Amino acid sequence: MKRIALALSAIIAAAPVWAETIKPQDAHAHIGETATIVGRASIQEMPSGEVYLDIAGRGDDAPVSAYVSRWNRDRFPLIAHLDGKMVKVTGVIGSFRYRPEIFLTDPAQIAVK
């Protein structure tokens, strides 16, 4: 029985792999859902250590952003190399300051397309 529970846990943990792929401009309609968003990345590293990965725009002009907190920054040592590249970002779409945002905690949530 424990093996079944462990197997189910592994499947649930891998759920973002099966996420629906959506366009960046459609992210606002998918808040609360797990999705994969594809677009060109624009990286903004803040003096506080936080990192914003804007997709298909920059700053407030980006339809969706991914966020790395300063506490998780060490997990993403190569994030600056994604600037200008086409990326796939997977995670639960939340809302921050009325804009769609994915909170990044695992480097597996980002892939170069």
Burial class (CB in 10 A: 0-12, 13-18, 19+), 103: middle
The domains located in the chain, with CATH, are 2-112 (2.40.50.140)
Cα distance between residue 88 and residue 21, in whole Å:
9
In this prediction, residue 18 has a pLDDT band, given cuts at 50, 70 and 90, of low
pLDDT at 87 over 60: yes
pLDDT at 17 over 60: no
Looking at the chain, the whole-number percentage of residues with pLDDT higher than 90 is 79
- Mean pLDDT estimate for the chain: 87
Cα distance between residue 29 and residue 77, in whole Å:
31
Which stretches within 14-113 are classed as H helix? none
